[in-house]
Amino acid sequence: MDRLSNPQKTIEIIRKHGFDFQKKFGQNFLIDPHVLDKIIAAAEITKDDFVLEIGPGIGTLTQYLAEAAREVTAVEIDRKLIPILQETLADYGNVTVLNQDVLKTDLAAIAREKNGGRPVKVVANLPYYITTPIIMGLFESHVPLESITVMVQKEVAQRMQAVPGTKDYGALSLAVQYYAQPYLAANVPPNCFIPRPSVGSAVIRLTQHREPPVQVKDERLMFALIRASFNQRRKTLLNGLKNAPELQLDRDEILRAFERAGLSENVRGETLTLAQFAALADALAPDSGEPGECF
Ligand code: SAM
């Protein structure tokens, strides 16, 4: 089977199987070999690697992965693509295709079974409608990960690597950067896909930290503070936190924590670094009272 990474071959396969693109599954198939080479290079795939691919489509990226890696498992939700994948991947003995919803798949079990629990590389041209749940799901469910190299909407890539005080900085930047180091590998225009998406795209690699860059007593509290702070972006951090029903914090309690964390009363959440959010969470954690305070 020839490589699928050109418009003619892609159209030929789609017509042959009478395949209709499903917008609801975010189906935009890659047709540019240079972009595929860039994805493989950014992911630094070697013959030792087990790769998990999300959404193989007709198998365009899967062919490249199968050639570069030791083994590939690809999870595809659309059952109409399964017979196509059987044909396009027939020459590759190191690929397993699972017809499943990735959000309902036990990816840690796949890593255990296929890679002895060692960190895996995730590579995908993601369905954009579920980018955040997929990436946060991978991090939060503690799938052993080395890196995630993915095509995402360009604006999402910018948010993932944004720094404090910029317009793109937000809860996604902090969440991604708590778990990983982002690296923007390429910008990709709409004409590299069939059908063309209405937005620009980018390839981003997220290399999982061995240790989180900050230590925090209560991770969940820190992320609740981050969410509350960016839910009310135009308010000061004090007002954002005071108005957040899930936090149940009063003004004095917040101000005492601000003092302990070295923050000023009128600080805005969008200027805080991850380390400052961690310090604030620690200052609000139940056992963080001043020594001797209760006597
Ligand atoms: N990898 C192919 C390529 O680069 O040409 C296709 C990428 S396309 C942007 C996204 C793929 O993800 C589609 O094949 C779509 O059917 C699949 N997909 C969408 N939602 C999914 C889900 N919840 N679980 C698994 N696959 C999904």
**Closest by alpha carbon to 170, among 229, 219, 243, 100?**
229
**Average pLDDT in the chain:** 95
Predicted pLDDT of residue 259: 97
Structure confidence by residue, pLDDT tens digits, 159-176: 999 999 999 999 999 999
> Is residue 25 within 6 Å of ligand 1 at its C-beta?
yes
Regions in the chain scoring below 70 on pLDDT: 288-295
Tokens standing for residue 252: 């004095």
Measured from the Cα of 57, ligand 1's closest atom is: 14
Nearest CA to ligand 1 atom 8: 27
Between the CA of 54 and the centroid of ligand 1 the distance, in Å, is 6
Extents of the domains making up the chain: 7-208, 219-284
Predicted pLDDT of residue 234: 83
Q: What is the CATH number of domain 219-284?
A: 1.10.8.100
Predicted pLDDT of residue 1: 73
Nearest CA to ligand 1 atom 3: 29
Predicted pLDDT of residue 208: 97
Answer for the pair 135, 187: CB distance below 8 angstroms, yes or no.
Answer: no
Query: Can you tell me which residue has the tokens 């005080």?
Result: 165
**Closest by alpha carbon to 179, among 213, 152, 221?**
213
Structure confidence by residue, pLDDT tens digits, 114-136: 999 999 999 999 999 999 999 99
Predicted pLDDT of residue 138: 95
Q: State the SS3 of the chain.
A: CCCCCCHHHHHHHHHHCCCCCCHHHCCCEECCHHHHHHHHHHHCCCCCCEEEEECCCCCHHHHHHHHHCCEEEEECCCHHHHHHHHHHCCCCCCEEEECCCHHHCCHHHHHHHHHCCCCEEEEEECCHHHHHHHHHHHHHCCCCEEEEEEEEEHHHHHHHCCCCCCCCCCHHHHHHHHHEEEEEEEEECHHHEECCCCCCEEEEEEEECCCCCCCCCCHHHHHHHHHHHHHCCCCCHHHHHHCCCCCCCCHHHHHHHHHHHCCCCCCCHHHCCHHHHHHHHHHHCCCCCCCCCCC
Top CATH class of 7-208 equals alpha beta
> Is residue 60 within 6 Å of ligand 1 at its C-beta?
yes
Between the CA of 10 and the centroid of ligand 1 the distance, in Å, is 15
The best mutation among 38, 77, 196 to test binding of ligand 1, ranked by most ligand atoms within 8 Å of the C-beta, falls on 77
Predicted pLDDT of residue 288: 60
Predicted pLDDT of residue 190: 98
